[in-house]
Amino acid sequence: MRAAVFHQAGQSLTIEQVAMPYARGGDLVIAIRCCGICGSDLHMSEVHGPQSGMTPLPPGTVMGHEFAGEIVEVGRGVDAFRVGQRVTAMPYIACGQCAACLTGVGYRCAKAVYSALGQAPGGFAEYMRIGAAETLLLPDGVDDQRGALVEPLAVALHGVAAARLAPGESVLVMGAGPIGLACALWCRHFGARHIMVTDREPARLALATRMGATATVDVTQEDVIGSCKRYAGRRPDVVFDCIGIPGAQQLAMDYAPMGGRIVVIGVCMAPDTIRPVKALTKELQINYAYMYRRQEFELAIDLMNRELIDPTPMLTGTMSFAEFPQIFETLKTDKSACKMLLVP
Ligand SMILES: [Zn+2]
Ligand SMILES: [Zn+2]
């Protein structure tokens, strides 16, 4: 089968023939219908050494963790699924039986094998092996493209859950990439009153408005705190860092009010410097949000199916294998595009 293969940091991915996956006990194999490129894929392909805090990808890695597909093979001992069903899955294969797995946080399972980070191949391929315990059915109302958005929606939902948002509160979302946009969508859904989104890219700020932002701030033109005060009358109750580059967490501390809450969702893979005294004197509550609970995947699927949320504005387009390596490189610098999906 064909797959987009990583060989070395700084080198573009190549489309190659690789071995077909097969289902072991408890597994499924799916034919990938759509797989989104995530900002973390772009970052991971640039990680050279341990200074990032992440293990560099081994040569031969197939990334891709935001996918929807159709089951083509059912492994031994799997009763819950059959060939032909449309599904998505959390991108790891865990034991399915320990306390972590049974409560929906299988990424903390001691036996979890991560797909798409080098331990097992991911979804930038024609086929992929997934764990039945991590798999979720896609109902008719969630087509393949929406199905590939479940994972980024769950990331943002996990972050918004960490904020313990109360109805009527004001939020500031730093960064209008897919996660920032999904964050705006969830804040709107859960009753935030003012949802202010920052970015330096006008095209993305326009998307933010379609995804639930009530105001946008172009950081190249406007002062963020001044804009918040003019628009909402005060600083935001919650600041979400959906940027994930050095300096972003300090900015979040600077923007937050006394006693404010910060949720860091952006994955910063470089050393960063903060001034803790700022967080201390403001008595900030700072939360880090990583991955998602199974229940967050379920809610994202259910609400899309019932048309109660619509993340489709963040979809920029689809691409074939032939276009994939070039577009993957372009996305590292061109921030006018948002979510691009590989259709193998
Ligand atoms: Zn992702
Ligand atoms: Zn487990």
Give the tens place of pLDDT for each residue, 71-116.
999 999 999 999 999 999 999 999 989 999 999 999 999 999 999 8
CA distances 42 to 243, 249, 327, Å, are 14, 20, 11
Could you give the percent of the chain with pLDDT greater than 70? Answer: 100
Query: Which ligand has an atom closest to residue 110 CA?
Result: 2
Averaged pLDDT for residues 140-165: 98
pLDDT tier at 288, thresholds 50, 70, 90: very high
- The pLDDT value recorded for residue 77 is 95
What confidence score (pLDDT) does residue 124 get? 98
| 342 has a pLDDT exceeding 90 | yes
The neighbouring-strand residues paired with 171 are 195, 238
Asked whether 5 and 14 are in contact (CB, 8 A), the reply is yes
User: Are 215 and 196 contacting, i.e. CB atoms less than 8 angstroms apart?
Assistant: yes
| The pLDDT of residue 32 is above 90 | yes
Average pLDDT, the chain: 96
pLDDT at residue 227, rounded to an integer = 97
pLDDT of residue 55: 83
Ligand 2 geometric centre to CA of 200 (Å): 41
User: How close is the Cα of 7 to the center of ligand 2, in Å?
Assistant: 31
The pLDDT of residue 52 is above 90: no
- Tell me how far the alpha carbon of residue 116 lies from the centroid of ligand 2, in angstroms: 19
Question: What φ, ψ does residue 239 adopt, rounded to 5°?
Answer: -115, 125
Out of 48-57, 262-271, 277-286, give the one with best mean pLDDT. Answer: 277-286
Q: What is the pTM of this model?
A: 0.96
Answer with the residue of higher pLDDT: 127 or 55: 127
**Cα(307) to centroid of ligand 1, in Å?**
23
207 SS3 class: helix
**Cα(122) to centroid of ligand 2, in Å?**
20
Near ion ligand 1, which residues have CB within 5 Å? 38
pLDDT of residue 48 exceeding 80? no
